[in-house]
Amino acid sequence: MGKGTITKRQKELLSIIYNYIKNSGYPPTFEEMKEDLNVSSNQSIIDLLVKLEKQDFIKRNESSARSINILPLGYKVLNKLPLIPFLGATSAGAPIEAIEISGEWQSVSSEVARLKDEVFLLKISGDSMINAGIDDGDMVLVKSQKEFFSGDVVLANVKDESTVKRFISDDNPPYVYLKPENPDPKHKVILFEDGMRLVGKVISVFKNGQWKSVK
């Protein structure tokens, strides 16, 4: 068997690693893998790990404890993503709400908590960004970050409200403000002032059943 395939035993170990990480938040040691795989020799584990690594299912940091990463190919071969080809035409994710309203979701809460910092969806209300292709009721994907460039569509906290606008910053003359994308004069620019905070960048918008990137 060559590259690209996986044997039963290799898959068993990969699955053990996957489950261990899922349950404890960090990867297993050799000892723990030996126990779970029901073998007594370190060499057995190493043999399998080396093969998993050669096929790009995992990555290891040598001489370092608990340092296995499962790579995308690894998740794929574990059949943990059986729907991906089907999902190709759709989209996927984890609504924070669904996770927080029910105790049923505790087991994934640590991963979700970590993920929540990175990206989240948001429902838009208002029409101040229609020229950027973001309409009332649309859902947008926001990536939480700290550095922004002029021209980014951002999610900002202004006083007690959150708003999505285009962020403009120019040095000459120096000015910084948030700009609505709607020609109607009732939408005014918001000068950047103390207490305002940029929360994240708006990456894409869900429209007509699919995701489009925001420019």
Active site residue 207: no
The CB-of-18 to DNA minimum distance in angstroms stands at 16
Crossing angle for the helix pair 8-24 and 30-37, to the nearest 10 degrees? 120
Q: How far apart are CA 69 and CA 60, in angstroms?
A: 6
Q: Among residue numbers 137 through 176, which ones bind a copy of itself (CB under 8 A)? A: 137, 139, 141, 144, 155, 157, 162
The one-letter code for the residue type at 157 is N
Q: Which residue, 14 or 202, has its beta carbon nearer to DNA?
A: 14
Which of 128, 179, 201, 204 is the catalytic position? 128
Q: Which of 122, 114, 127, 104 is nearest to 180 (CA)?
A: 127
Q: How many residues in the shown chain lie near a copy of itself by CB under 8 A?
A: 71
Binding site for DNA (CB under 7 A): 1-2, 7-10, 29-31, 37, 39-44, 46-49, 51, 60, 62-67
The CB-of-27 to DNA minimum distance in angstroms stands at 8
155 binding partner (options a copy of itself, DNA, none; Cβ < 5 to 8 Å by kind):
a copy of itself
118 binding partner (options a copy of itself, DNA, none; Cβ < 5 to 8 Å by kind):
a copy of itself
Q: Which of 159, 213, 163 is nearest to 189 (CA)?
A: 163
Active site residue 165: yes
- Show which residues are catalytic: 128, 165
